[in-house]
Amino acid sequence: MTADLPSVKLDIISDPICPWCYIGKTHLDKALAEIPDHPFVIEWHPFQLNPDMPRAGMDRRAYLEAKFGGKEGAVKAYAPVVEHAEKAGLSIDFEGMKRTPNTIDAHRMIHWAGIEGKQSAMVDALFDAYFAQARDIGDRDVLVEISESIGMQGEVTRQLLSGDSDVEDIRNRDSHSRKMGVSSVPTFIIANQHAVPGAQQPGMWKQVIADIMEQLQTPASDS
């Protein structure tokens, strides 16, 4: 972010088991890497795709049966995801996934990482663990390992996870987003004004950044 221009808030509403969120972040990251002096300050916000998921998660096959009517329905539903992931240079190990987790603890991890200035690193680590490594990010041992991998204190994370710290806050923030009209993720909110849904391409983000930077560099009129 350039020091010469004011910052612009980019709020991202997401769930770490949402493949479109994974793809969307990858597209955004590509655009930001090409424009290192972008004005965005990014904050991640919780949204649970499956808010009624049992806290321990559930068997992946049972989940697919319930949601898509079985493997064939799931393959058809996920075909566009696989196509777009490959185009983005991502590999998703759907075959390796054994459980679909409840993500409340993963969202707590993102919140705590934000306090330490490591929020985007945590989001990246959760996406990689779930999609690339097919790990159960509802498992607290896995979450502790992830926290340590980005430089957080594992034992502190384990202690926090053992209690209900911030659970209600995460649920309230999720509920707030739904009340504001968010029904799918990822949803990007620019400067608290403009909502951009979906996994947008890097080119769109580069245009948005260019437009914002032009506006920031244009002196305000005296009218």
223: confidence class by pLDDT, cuts 50, 70, 90 = very low
Q: Look at residue 71 in the predicted model and tell me its pLDDT.
A: 80
- Of 52, 55, 64, 49, nearest to 97 by C-alpha is 64
The neighbouring-strand residues paired with 195 are 189
Instruction: State what percent of residues in the chain have pLDDT above 70.
Output: 96
Q: Look at residue 57 in the predicted model and tell me its pLDDT.
A: 97
Q: Look at residue 220 in the predicted model and tell me its pLDDT.
A: 59
Residue 221 vs residue 146, higher pLDDT: 146
Whether the pLDDT of residue 4 is over 80: the answer is: no
Structure confidence by residue, pLDDT tens digits, 11-68: 999 999 999 999 999 999 999 999 999 999 999 999 999 999 999 999 999 999 899 9
Rounded Cα distance, 110 and 126, in Å:
9
Strand 187-190 to 8-14 pairing:
antiparallel
Q: Which residues contact 201 (CB under 8 A, 6 or more apart)?
A: 27
Residue 92 vs residue 220, higher pLDDT: 92
Give kind and range of the element (H or E) at residue 45. Answer: strand 40-46
Whether the pLDDT of residue 104 is over 50: the answer is: yes
Whether the pLDDT of residue 1 is over 60: the answer is: no
Structure confidence by residue, pLDDT tens digits, 128-166: 999 999 999 999 999 999 999 999 999 999 999 999 999
Rounded Cα distance, 80 and 88, in Å:
12
Rounded Cα distance, 46 and 176, in Å:
10
Reported residue count of the chain is: 223
Burial call 191-220: b when 16+ CB within 10 Å, e when fewer: eeeeebbbbbbbeebbebbeebbeeeeeee
70: confidence class by pLDDT, cuts 50, 70, 90 = confident
Domains within the chain, CATH numbers bracketed: 8-217 (3.40.30.10)
Rounded Cα distance, 99 and 103, in Å:
12
